[in-house]
Amino acid sequence: MAATIRDVARLAGVSTSTVSRALSVPDLVNPATRAKVRSAADSLDYAPNKAARGLITGRTGNLGLVLPDLANPFFPSVVKGVQARARAADLAVFVADTDEDVAAETGLVRALAQQVDGLVLCSPRAGADELAKIAADTTVVLLNRLVDDLPAVVFDHADGMRQAVAHLVALGHRRIAWVSGPAASWSSEQRGQGLAQAAADQGVELVEVGHFPPHYDGGMAAADQVVATGATAVITYNDLVAIGLLARLHGRGIAVPDELSVVGIDDIAMAAMARPALTTIRLPKERAGRLAVELLLTLLDHATAADEPPVRRVLRGDLMVRASTGVPPR
Amino acid sequence: MAATIRDVARLAGVSTSTVSRALSVPDLVNPATRAKVRSAADSLDYAPNKAARGLITGRTGNLGLVLPDLANPFFPSVVKGVQARARAADLAVFVADTDEDVAAETGLVRALAQQVDGLVLCSPRAGADELAKIAADTTVVLLNRLVDDLPAVVFDHADGMRQAVAHLVALGHRRIAWVSGPAASWSSEQRGQGLAQAAADQGVELVEVGHFPPHYDGGMAAADQVVATGATAVITYNDLVAIGLLARLHGRGIAVPDELSVVGIDDIAMAAMARPALTTIRLPKERAGRLAVELLLTLLDHATAADEPPVRRVLRGDLMVRASTGVPPR
DNA sequence: CTGAAAGCGCTAACAA
DNA sequence: TTGTTAGCGCTTTCAG
């Protein structure tokens, strides 16, 4: 069906190698023949077969993105960032949603690894050793996770927590609750530690309420425990949790922010749509996706060279204070 | 790095052809040798190179999914359905978000077409002729769009509208507003027509308010026009629009559902989280994704045969009436 | 039931 | 600057 390099060669009256060169290393061929080849290729609507090319160059021109749950609005943003950068480099992106399942994650990674040049693992759930093993065979960039010295793009969670605490302290809060995410979550751990540090530095009391699933239901479940802590403000693992919390608080007739201030993390679109609008720490999600691909491309270029490429990017988030939130505690 | 079929052949003491057969057409080889090959393959952690296989079989083992906007929660659900079914058939999925851009859509489709066995075009924005052209070169299944006789999975929008109207009529509404989606949107068109029919059948007055972007901002923008119609109930193009509408109504101090009943379409997770919870028509999104792949697989199998495969699936949605909604008009 | 040989579409030495 | 040759990793005739 599709034209092959031979069809183009025949039509242009040259050899297949010349066609190949004319199209991928134009400077190596005579401008005249180059033009002939080009027009022949155009008229046949020829596009080189990526699989065949990959077989010989070792580059597939594809890239894999593995993430835990597309239903969490955090991740589509990352996908967009990754795709934007990948497209600019003429790479196609395999996306794999693991449904928060570690086993599925490693399986998918193995399946993808063989047909991509590199992999972006977004908030991977797998263990450190597992990830190290994967990284041994494949070029990998972690996104929102740090493991050994693996290349990674991460957010400065500690700084985000610092901002959140500063905001709450300025409003007069002195006792803050922290709703942590999944026990095995690297970012929950980071956020928790950053928060503990910030609380200590800024002289406020911190109560952890622990380990909830990273979505709406988790927040629903956490709400009552949060209330029981007697804290006047709460910071949640992410916005989805915050929104679930808001719902349960509303159900119990607890006014937000008058009786309890709520701060989320991520700044998903829904945060602005919630009523009252959710105060949150905005993470540069798309940018993180773009940078992850950027990093991957660098690594691929330096693959053979022995020099150390830059291997880690840390991105800062920003406090988003929204209308109708941020009332001092009673 | 990775083991090739030759490594396996050497280790098992057989030819590469035997390895190939033992792994892909096991019945053709002696059980004893089959076992030898299997264990050799296992110990080398061998997996056949998909690109090389594709070169000869003409099957890539990949599948493309093109959609307008991952940020709309409707689409991640479809992605999940597609991935689930694809995974079961051992296919990897390229996902391409076009950002609602028709030009980007056709470009991405062309780029993907060459390296997939088939394409699922979800709510495609491209023109009918464009799509027909694409379908001429590639096996394509449309999702939520009908064009000529192209294979498709669609929702029964007319029936959904019938249910929505029946619900509102039962509550006593006699004048309903319709907030339509993008002018070029097939599903908006379908929903509008279905609604018009339902309104006529059930004897209620319908006022269209027109053509808004299919997201939150569209709903915000539509709200004032809706109010101006004097309708006691409104049906919106989708849930995102409904939620935007809700926000603006809240801003204007208009009580929902007491002063205005709002019905969305899709049943995205956010619909249940909204306050008041949104009444909506639930569309079987994941199922649609699964069926689209199913259909694609059927088409691929029948590719050469001349017999007509089943080529269209129509899925019914269901009314989701949520707590605190559904009050008769004043 | 198994092996040898050919070749999918392409690129990369190596010559000319 | 261009063509010839070889071969990426695999499957598939075609013999045996």
pLDDT per residue over B294-306, tens digit each? 999 999 987 645 5
Please indicate if any CB of chain B lies within 8 Å of the CB of A71. Answer: yes
Q: Using 50, 70 and 90 to split pLDDT, how confident is the model at B223?
A: very high
Identify the pLDDT of residue A307: 57
C1'-nearest nucleotide to the CA of A24: C11
Q: What is the DSSP string of B116-169?
A: -SEEEEES--S-HHHHHHHHHHS-EEEES---TT--EEEE-HHHHHHHHHHHHH
Identify the pLDDT of residue B180: 97
Q: Look over chain A and give the mean of its residue pLDDT values, rounded to a whole number.
A: 92
Residues of chain B found within 8 Å of residue A47, distances taken between Cβ atoms: 114
In chain A, the residue whose alpha carbon lies closest to the alpha carbon of B114 is: A49
Please indicate if any CB of chain B lies within 8 Å of the CB of A56. Answer: no
CA torsion sign for B133, B138, B141, B144 is: negative
pTM of the model: 0.92
Task: Say whether pLDDT at B131 is over 90.
Answer: yes
Strand D atom within 7 Å of A32 CB? yes
Question: What would the pLDDT profile of A98-114 be if each residue is shown by its tens digit?
Answer: 998 999 899 889 889 98
The backbone torsions φ and ψ at residue B326, rounded to the nearest 5 degrees and listed phi first, read 75, 55
Task: Say whether pLDDT at B151 is over 80.
Answer: yes
Please indicate if any CB of chain B lies within 8 Å of the CB of A115. Answer: yes
Q: What angle do CA A215, A219, A220 make, to 5 degrees?
A: 115
Among A19-23, B195-199, B319-323, which is the least confidently predicted range? B319-323
Task: Say whether pLDDT at A7 is over 80.
Answer: yes
CA nearest neighbour of A281 among A266, A260, A261: A266
Question: What would the pLDDT profile of A56-69 be if each residue is shown by its tens digit?
Answer: 999 999 999 999 99
Place of tokens 């907030």: B179
Contact between A33 and A14 (Cβ < 8 Å): yes
Diameter of chain B by CA atoms? 85
CATH topology of domain A157-283: Rossmann fold (3.40.50)
Please indicate if any CB of chain B lies within 8 Å of the CB of A53. Answer: no
Distance B52 CA to C4 C1' (A): 20
Domain B62-155+286-315 matches domain B157-283 at the CATH topology level: yes
Long-range residue pairs from B12-15, CB within 8 A, at least 24 positions apart, any chain: B12/B36, B12/B37, B12/B39, B12/B40, B12/B41
Which two three-digit tokens encode residue A168? 């709450």
**Residue B55 burial (10 A CB sphere; 0-12, 13-18, 19+):** middle
Identify the pLDDT of residue B68: 95
Q: CA B111 to CA B100: how far, in whole Å? A: 17
Using only the alpha carbons of chain B, give its radius of gyration: 25
**Which nucleotides of strand C come closer than 7 angstroms to any CB of the protein?**
1-5, 7-13
Question: What would the pLDDT profile of A143-193 be if each residue is shown by its tens digit?
Answer: 999 999 999 999 999 999 999 999 999 999 999 999 999 998 999 999 999
pLDDT above 90 coverage of chain A, percent: 82
Identify the pLDDT of residue A232: 94
Identify the pLDDT of residue B323: 53
pLDDT above 90 coverage of chain B, percent: 81
Q: To the nearest 5 percent, what fractions of chain B are helix, strand and coil? A: 50, 15, 35
Q: What is the mean pLDDT of residues B139-157?
A: 95
Q: Using 50, 70 and 90 to split pLDDT, how confident is the model at B326?
A: low
Strand D atom within 7 Å of B55 CB? yes
Identify the pLDDT of residue A309: 61
C1'-nearest nucleotide to the CA of B56: C8
Q: CA B241 to CA A114: how far, in whole Å? A: 42
Q: Using 50, 70 and 90 to split pLDDT, how confident is the model at A322?
A: confident
The distance of B76 to chain A (nearest Cα, Å) reads: 6
Which two three-digit tokens encode residue A22? 């004319």
Candidates B46, B93, B114, B120, partner chain A, best to mutate (most A CBs within 10 A) = B114
Question: What would the pLDDT profile of A26-62 be if each residue is shown by its tens digit?
Answer: 999 999 999 999 999 999 999 999 999 999 999 999 9
Identify the pLDDT of residue B275: 79
Q: What is the mean pLDDT of residues B135-144?
A: 93
Identify the pLDDT of residue B137: 86
Residue B186 identity:
W
Question: What would the pLDDT profile of B252-264 be if each residue is shown by its tens digit?
Answer: 999 888 899 999 9
Residue B238 identity:
N
Long-range residue pairs from B96-99, CB within 8 A, at least 24 positions apart, any chain: B96/A83, B96/A92, B96/A93, B96/B64, B96/B65, B96/B66, B96/B67, B97/A76, B97/A79, B97/A80, B97/A83, B97/B67, B97/B68, B97/B69, B97/B70, B98/B66, B98/B67, B98/B68, B98/B69, B98/B125, B99/A80, B99/B68, B99/B69
The distance of A194 to chain B (nearest Cα, Å) reads: 29
Task: Say whether pLDDT at B80 is over 60.
Answer: yes
Contact between A212 and A221 (Cβ < 8 Å): yes
Identify the pLDDT of residue B177: 97
Give the total residue count for chain A: 330
Task: Say whether pLDDT at B324 is over 60.
Answer: no
Strand D atom within 7 Å of A197 CB? no
Identify the pLDDT of residue B328: 66
Identify the pLDDT of residue A311: 86
Looking only at the bridges linking them, the beta strands covering B152-155 and B140-143 are parallel
Q: Using 50, 70 and 90 to split pLDDT, how confident is the model at A302?
A: confident
Among A290-304, A306-320, B112-126, B128-142, which is the least confidently predicted range? A306-320
Identify the pLDDT of residue B306: 54
Identify the pLDDT of residue B307: 57
Task: Say whether pLDDT at A199 is over 70.
Answer: yes
Per-domain residue ranges of chain A: 62-155+286-315, 157-283
Question: What would the pLDDT profile of A229-257 be if each residue is shown by its tens digit?
Answer: 999 999 999 999 999 999 999 989 998 88
Question: What would the pLDDT profile of B63-79 be if each residue is shown by its tens digit?
Answer: 999 999 999 999 999 99
Which of the four CATH numbers 3.40.50.720, 3.30.70.330, 3.40.30.10, 3.40.50.2300 does domain A62-155+286-315 have? 3.40.50.2300
